[in-house]
Chains A and B, each alone.
Chain A
Amino acid sequence: MEATLFYILAFVTVIGTVLAITEKHPVHAIVYLVTSFFSLAMIFFLLSAPLIAMFEVIIYAGAVMVLFMFVIMMLDLGRPSEAGRPVVRQWLLPSVLGGVILLSIVAVAVRHFSAPGTQGMISITDFSVTLFRKYGIAIEIISMQLLFAVVGALYLGRKR
Protein backbone atom coordinates (compact mmCIF):
# COMPACT_ATOMS: atom_id res chain seq x y z
CA MET A 1 0.00 0.00 0.00
CA GLU A 2 2.87 2.34 0.82
CA ALA A 3 4.57 1.42 -2.46
CA THR A 4 1.40 2.34 -4.39
CA LEU A 5 1.26 5.63 -2.52
CA PHE A 6 4.89 6.28 -3.44
CA TYR A 7 4.22 5.80 -7.14
CA ILE A 8 1.11 8.00 -7.04
CA LEU A 9 3.06 10.74 -5.25
CA ALA A 10 5.97 10.40 -7.66
CA PHE A 11 3.56 10.85 -10.55
CA VAL A 12 2.04 13.95 -8.95
CA THR A 13 5.51 15.38 -8.31
CA VAL A 14 6.69 14.88 -11.88
CA ILE A 15 3.47 16.21 -13.43
CA GLY A 16 3.47 19.23 -11.12
CA THR A 17 7.08 20.01 -12.01
CA VAL A 18 6.42 19.62 -15.75
CA LEU A 19 3.45 21.96 -15.52
CA ALA A 20 5.52 24.41 -13.48
CA ILE A 21 8.37 24.65 -15.96
CA THR A 22 6.13 24.97 -19.00
CA GLU A 23 3.80 27.56 -17.50
CA LYS A 24 4.39 31.06 -18.82
CA HIS A 25 2.65 32.79 -15.94
CA PRO A 26 5.16 32.91 -13.05
CA VAL A 27 2.53 32.90 -10.29
CA HIS A 28 0.85 29.79 -11.68
CA ALA A 29 4.26 28.14 -12.02
CA ILE A 30 4.94 28.72 -8.34
CA VAL A 31 1.57 27.32 -7.31
CA TYR A 32 2.25 24.17 -9.37
CA LEU A 33 5.66 23.93 -7.75
CA VAL A 34 4.12 24.15 -4.28
CA THR A 35 1.89 21.20 -5.22
CA SER A 36 4.94 19.26 -6.34
CA PHE A 37 6.79 20.09 -3.12
CA PHE A 38 3.86 18.93 -1.01
CA SER A 39 3.86 15.52 -2.66
CA LEU A 40 7.65 15.38 -2.36
CA ALA A 41 7.23 16.05 1.37
CA MET A 42 4.88 13.08 1.55
CA ILE A 43 7.54 10.97 -0.20
CA PHE A 44 10.05 12.06 2.45
CA PHE A 45 7.56 11.04 5.10
CA LEU A 46 7.24 7.60 3.50
CA LEU A 47 11.04 7.32 3.44
CA SER A 48 11.03 7.58 7.27
CA ALA A 49 12.13 11.21 7.40
CA PRO A 50 9.20 12.98 9.09
CA LEU A 51 11.28 15.95 10.22
CA ILE A 52 12.61 16.60 6.73
CA ALA A 53 9.05 16.32 5.40
CA MET A 54 7.91 18.97 7.86
CA PHE A 55 10.82 21.25 7.01
CA GLU A 56 10.07 20.77 3.32
CA VAL A 57 6.54 22.04 3.87
CA ILE A 58 7.53 24.86 6.22
CA ILE A 59 10.70 26.12 4.52
CA TYR A 60 10.30 25.21 0.85
CA ALA A 61 6.57 25.34 0.21
CA GLY A 62 6.11 28.00 2.86
CA ALA A 63 9.00 30.42 3.08
CA VAL A 64 10.98 30.08 -0.14
CA MET A 65 8.01 29.94 -2.50
CA VAL A 66 6.30 32.83 -0.71
CA LEU A 67 9.54 34.79 -1.10
CA PHE A 68 9.43 34.11 -4.85
CA MET A 69 5.77 35.15 -4.96
CA PHE A 70 6.59 38.29 -2.98
CA VAL A 71 9.34 39.32 -5.40
CA ILE A 72 7.09 38.62 -8.42
CA MET A 73 4.39 40.82 -6.95
CA MET A 74 6.83 43.52 -5.86
CA LEU A 75 8.40 43.78 -9.33
CA ASP A 76 5.00 43.36 -11.02
CA LEU A 77 6.14 40.45 -13.19
CA GLY A 78 2.83 38.61 -13.05
CA ARG A 79 1.63 39.72 -16.47
CA PRO A 80 1.77 36.79 -18.88
CA SER A 81 1.99 39.04 -21.93
CA GLU A 82 5.35 40.40 -20.84
CA ALA A 83 6.94 37.10 -19.88
CA GLY A 84 7.50 35.49 -23.28
CA ARG A 85 7.46 31.72 -23.18
CA PRO A 86 10.42 30.21 -25.04
CA VAL A 87 9.49 28.88 -28.47
CA VAL A 88 9.52 25.16 -29.27
CA ARG A 89 12.89 25.39 -30.97
CA GLN A 90 14.46 26.55 -27.70
CA TRP A 91 13.05 23.57 -25.81
CA LEU A 92 14.62 21.02 -28.14
CA LEU A 93 18.31 21.10 -27.26
CA PRO A 94 17.91 21.45 -23.47
CA SER A 95 15.48 18.51 -23.54
CA VAL A 96 18.12 16.42 -25.30
CA LEU A 97 20.72 17.40 -22.71
CA GLY A 98 18.36 16.67 -19.82
CA GLY A 99 17.40 13.35 -21.37
CA VAL A 100 21.03 12.31 -21.71
CA ILE A 101 21.69 13.12 -18.04
CA LEU A 102 18.52 11.31 -16.97
CA LEU A 103 19.32 8.16 -18.94
CA SER A 104 22.91 8.05 -17.68
CA ILE A 105 21.84 8.43 -14.05
CA VAL A 106 19.20 5.73 -14.44
CA ALA A 107 21.67 3.38 -16.14
CA VAL A 108 24.22 3.85 -13.36
CA ALA A 109 21.54 3.45 -10.69
CA VAL A 110 20.23 0.18 -12.10
CA ARG A 111 23.74 -1.28 -12.35
CA HIS A 112 25.21 -0.22 -9.04
CA PHE A 113 22.56 0.34 -6.41
CA SER A 114 20.99 -3.08 -6.30
CA ALA A 115 23.14 -4.04 -3.31
CA PRO A 116 21.00 -4.88 -0.29
CA GLY A 117 20.69 -2.15 2.30
CA THR A 118 20.07 -2.38 6.00
CA GLN A 119 16.58 -2.26 7.34
CA GLY A 120 15.49 -0.18 10.28
CA MET A 121 13.61 2.97 10.98
CA ILE A 122 15.36 6.24 11.75
CA SER A 123 13.73 7.92 14.70
CA ILE A 124 13.75 11.65 15.27
CA THR A 125 15.98 11.00 18.29
CA ASP A 126 18.63 9.39 16.07
CA PHE A 127 18.39 12.29 13.68
CA SER A 128 18.78 14.91 16.41
CA VAL A 129 21.67 13.13 18.09
CA THR A 130 23.50 12.87 14.77
CA LEU A 131 22.72 16.48 13.95
CA PHE A 132 23.99 18.01 17.16
CA ARG A 133 26.70 15.54 18.21
CA LYS A 134 28.34 14.51 14.97
CA TYR A 135 27.65 17.56 12.84
CA GLY A 136 27.54 20.30 15.49
CA ILE A 137 30.23 22.31 13.75
CA ALA A 138 28.25 22.20 10.49
CA ILE A 139 25.30 23.80 12.30
CA GLU A 140 27.56 26.66 13.39
CA ILE A 141 28.91 27.12 9.86
CA ILE A 142 25.44 27.09 8.33
CA SER A 143 24.26 29.68 10.85
CA MET A 144 27.17 31.92 9.85
CA GLN A 145 26.19 31.42 6.22
CA LEU A 146 22.61 32.46 6.89
CA LEU A 147 23.86 35.56 8.72
CA PHE A 148 26.07 36.49 5.76
CA ALA A 149 23.13 35.97 3.41
CA VAL A 150 21.04 38.36 5.48
CA VAL A 151 23.81 40.97 5.42
CA GLY A 152 24.29 40.54 1.67
CA ALA A 153 20.57 40.82 0.94
CA LEU A 154 20.34 43.97 3.05
CA TYR A 155 23.34 45.46 1.21
CA LEU A 156 21.90 44.67 -2.22
CA GLY A 157 18.43 45.87 -1.37
CA ARG A 158 19.29 49.16 0.26
CA LYS A 159 18.03 52.46 -1.08
CA ARG A 160 20.58 54.64 -2.81
Chain B
Amino acid sequence: MIVPFEHIIALAAILFGLGLVCTLVWRSNVIMLLIGIEIMLNAAMLVFVGGSAKWGMPDGQVFALMIMAMTSAEVSLALALVVYLHRRRNTVDVDEFRELRD
Protein backbone atom coordinates (compact mmCIF):
# COMPACT_ATOMS: atom_id res chain seq x y z
CA MET B 1 0.00 0.00 0.00
CA ILE B 2 1.37 3.40 -0.92
CA VAL B 3 -0.74 5.28 1.64
CA PRO B 4 -2.56 4.15 4.79
CA PHE B 5 -5.96 2.62 4.11
CA GLU B 6 -7.65 5.18 6.38
CA HIS B 7 -6.66 7.96 4.02
CA ILE B 8 -8.32 6.20 1.08
CA ILE B 9 -11.44 5.68 3.17
CA ALA B 10 -11.34 9.35 4.20
CA LEU B 11 -11.10 10.46 0.56
CA ALA B 12 -14.00 8.18 -0.35
CA ALA B 13 -16.01 9.56 2.58
CA ILE B 14 -15.37 13.13 1.45
CA LEU B 15 -16.45 12.28 -2.09
CA PHE B 16 -19.54 10.48 -0.80
CA GLY B 17 -20.48 13.44 1.38
CA LEU B 18 -20.06 15.84 -1.53
CA GLY B 19 -22.24 13.63 -3.73
CA LEU B 20 -24.88 13.45 -1.03
CA VAL B 21 -24.89 17.23 -0.61
CA CYS B 22 -25.18 17.64 -4.39
CA THR B 23 -28.14 15.25 -4.49
CA LEU B 24 -29.91 16.97 -1.61
CA VAL B 25 -29.27 20.54 -2.74
CA TRP B 26 -29.94 20.50 -6.47
CA ARG B 27 -33.68 20.07 -6.61
CA SER B 28 -33.93 22.67 -9.34
CA ASN B 29 -32.05 20.58 -11.90
CA VAL B 30 -32.46 16.84 -12.18
CA ILE B 31 -29.24 16.49 -14.19
CA MET B 32 -27.16 17.84 -11.30
CA LEU B 33 -29.00 15.42 -9.02
CA LEU B 34 -27.91 12.52 -11.23
CA ILE B 35 -24.35 13.87 -11.16
CA GLY B 36 -24.49 13.63 -7.36
CA ILE B 37 -25.42 9.96 -7.65
CA GLU B 38 -22.46 9.45 -9.99
CA ILE B 39 -20.10 11.01 -7.43
CA MET B 40 -21.42 8.72 -4.70
CA LEU B 41 -20.98 5.62 -6.86
CA ASN B 42 -17.43 6.71 -7.62
CA ALA B 43 -16.70 6.92 -3.91
CA ALA B 44 -17.99 3.36 -3.51
CA MET B 45 -15.72 2.24 -6.35
CA LEU B 46 -12.76 3.88 -4.64
CA VAL B 47 -13.44 1.88 -1.47
CA PHE B 48 -13.63 -1.37 -3.47
CA VAL B 49 -10.37 -0.71 -5.31
CA GLY B 50 -8.61 0.42 -2.13
CA GLY B 51 -9.70 -2.72 -0.31
CA SER B 52 -8.54 -4.91 -3.14
CA ALA B 53 -5.14 -3.20 -3.06
CA LYS B 54 -4.92 -3.59 0.71
CA TRP B 55 -5.67 -7.29 0.88
CA GLY B 56 -4.19 -8.22 -2.50
CA MET B 57 -7.43 -9.72 -3.79
CA PRO B 58 -8.74 -8.88 -7.27
CA ASP B 59 -12.38 -9.31 -6.19
CA GLY B 60 -12.71 -5.64 -5.28
CA GLN B 61 -11.68 -4.61 -8.77
CA VAL B 62 -14.23 -7.01 -10.24
CA PHE B 63 -16.97 -5.36 -8.23
CA ALA B 64 -15.72 -1.90 -9.23
CA LEU B 65 -16.26 -3.07 -12.81
CA MET B 66 -19.75 -4.29 -11.86
CA ILE B 67 -20.54 -0.87 -10.36
CA MET B 68 -19.39 0.73 -13.59
CA ALA B 69 -21.66 -1.46 -15.71
CA MET B 70 -24.56 -0.82 -13.32
CA THR B 71 -23.93 2.92 -13.52
CA SER B 72 -23.97 2.99 -17.29
CA ALA B 73 -27.31 1.15 -17.31
CA GLU B 74 -28.70 3.49 -14.64
CA VAL B 75 -27.52 6.63 -16.41
CA SER B 76 -28.96 5.61 -19.76
CA LEU B 77 -32.37 4.88 -18.20
CA ALA B 78 -32.34 8.00 -16.03
CA LEU B 79 -31.41 10.29 -18.90
CA ALA B 80 -34.12 8.71 -21.06
CA LEU B 81 -36.54 9.53 -18.23
CA VAL B 82 -35.24 13.11 -18.12
CA VAL B 83 -35.83 13.47 -21.86
CA TYR B 84 -39.32 12.00 -21.46
CA LEU B 85 -40.25 14.32 -18.58
CA HIS B 86 -38.81 17.35 -20.34
CA ARG B 87 -40.87 16.53 -23.41
CA ARG B 88 -44.00 16.25 -21.30
CA ARG B 89 -43.63 19.18 -18.88
CA ASN B 90 -40.88 21.29 -20.53
CA THR B 91 -38.82 21.64 -17.35
CA VAL B 92 -36.20 19.71 -15.38
CA ASP B 93 -37.16 21.08 -11.97
CA VAL B 94 -37.81 18.15 -9.64
CA ASP B 95 -40.42 20.08 -7.65
CA GLU B 96 -42.59 20.36 -10.75
CA PHE B 97 -43.07 16.60 -11.00
CA ARG B 98 -45.43 16.02 -8.11
CA GLU B 99 -48.37 14.32 -9.76
CA LEU B 100 -48.61 10.64 -10.49
CA ARG B 101 -51.21 11.00 -13.20
CA ASP B 102 -50.61 12.79 -16.50
Contacts and interface: CB of A to CB of B under 8 A. Distances in A.
B78 to A, nearest CB: 9
Given A40-B46, A86-B28, A142-B70, A99 B17 contact: yes
B35 A30 contact: yes
Interface string A114-128: 100111111000110
B69 A142 contact: yes
A101 B16 contact: yes
Contacts of B8: 47
B15 A20 contact: no
B15 A98 contact: no
Contacts, number: 230
Interface in A118-150: 118-122, 126-127, 129-131, 134-135, 138, 142, 145-146, 148-150
- Chain A residues touching B, majority SS: helix
A95 to B, nearest CB: 6
Contact of B58 (A59, A90, A126): A126
Contacts of B12: 105
Nearest to B41: A60
Contact of A106 (B5, B13, B57, B65): B13
Contact of A21 (B18, B46, B50, B72): B18
Contact of A10 (B11, B27, B84): B11
Contact of B9 (A14, A33, A99, A109): A109
Nearest to A98: B17
A118 B55 contact: yes
Contacts of B49: 44, 47, 49, 52
Contacts of B14: 14, 102
A68 B6 CA distance: 33
A37 B43 CA distance: 11
Top 9 A-B residue pairs of the complex, sorted by shortest distance between their CB atoms: A94-B24, A149-B73, A98-B17, A117-B54, A109-B9, A105-B13, A21-B22, A153-B80, A156-B80
